[in-house]
Homo-oligomer: A and B are copies of this chain.
Amino acid sequence: MSILLQGIIAYPVTPFSADGGVDLNALDALIERLIADGVHAIAPLGSTGESAYLSDDEWEAVATASIRAVRRRVPTVVGISDLTTAGAVRRARFAEQAGADAVMVLPVSYWKLGNDEIVAHYRAIGDAIGIPVMLYNNPATSGVDMSPDLIATIFRTVDNVTMVKESTGDIGRMHRLAQLSDGTIPFYNGSNPMALAALAAGAAGWCTAAPNLNAALPLALVDAMRAGDLVRARAVFHAQLPLLQFIVNGGLPVTVKAGLRLRGFDAGEPRKPLLPLGDARTRELERLLAALPDRVTA
């Protein structure tokens, strides 16, 4: 069975210009660079893309610009999460018409959702579009935790929910998803510090913002795991682990934008209430980036 998404699915930040608006030129350049670096898919408007802080107009502009920038060289997965079901459906349709290959949906909601509300939310989105949906579980940001059993139920009952991104950091969930679906649910790692474990557990890919700062090491990890070379995989993974821990602990938009500036790429500041990374931590990040190896050998 061929699978739409495999390997490194890269999450670009949404660059802002000095006046605070979306900087579509910088977005285009960033995506161009990611593809040149060899990532296997582009996922705009995720958590990293500060999707939650964009107006509807801004969201549409970023979706359109991202898909255009990718030019179908790799698949594009657009994050369409919204606080209301109506808003998510509207965004899903927009993404499909703009040429997205798939959409990603986190059930964000102010009020905690019951299982029936979550299923209805996915069903409404699935019914509204013809492209695949990647279900995204990340209780730390969404406040809604979907158990492996619930995810398997949605996978079985909503036709175009065909992929699962798991970000709880609990490797047992991935084994459980495989178990519940007899290995038929393609799952993706969304928790950077457990990438090696997730790939060992059979993850089809790794959804990550790290390639904004360094794509070679995530790609090398995927290669080593495919080759069954666990010694090399551990070496490659440990070489990038301090960076992964740093960007996760500091919040992805904040740390990745600071790192891009250190790399000479101006993606602007994160949007308030997020504040830019302070000086001390920026220097720490600078040291981490400088310490990354050019090549990793076991």
Contacts and interface: CB of A to CB of B under 8 A. Distances in A.
B200 A230 contact: yes
Contacts of A117: 272-275
A238 B179 contact: yes
Contacts of A53: 83-84, 110
Contact of A84 (B85, B169, B237, B272): B272
A159 interface: no
Interface stretch (A66-74, A190-198, A205-213): A190-198
Nearest to A200: B200
Contacts of A273: 84-85, 107, 109, 113, 117-118, 120-121
A225 interface: yes
Contacts of A251: 111-112
A124 B116 CA distance: 39
A158 interface: no
Interface in A120-166: 120-121, 124, 140-141, 143
A245 B242 CA distance: 32
A230 B170 CA distance: 19
Contact of A175 (B107, B110, B237): B237
Interface string A218-251: 0000000101111001100110011000000001
Contact of A197 (B107, B108, B200, B241): B200
Given A171-B194, A197-B197, A178 B238 contact: yes
Interface in A59-102: 83-86
Nearest to A121: B273
Contacts of A228: 227-230
A102 B213 CA distance: 45
Contacts of A272: 84-86, 117, 120-121, 124
A172 B175 contact: no
Nearest to A226: B230
A52 B22 CA distance: 23
A110 B141 contact: yes
A220 B274 CA distance: 43
A55 B129 CA distance: 23
Interface of A: 47, 50-53, 83-86, 107-114, 116-118, 120-121, 124, 140-141, 143, 169-172, 175, 178-179, 183, 193-194, 196-197, 200-202, 225, 227-230, 233-234, 237-238, 241-242, 251-254, 271-275
The 8 A-B residue pairs with the shortest CB-CB distance in the complex, in nearest-first order? A52-B110, A200-B200, A228-B228, A85-B272, A197-B197, A121-B273, A171-B197, A85-B273
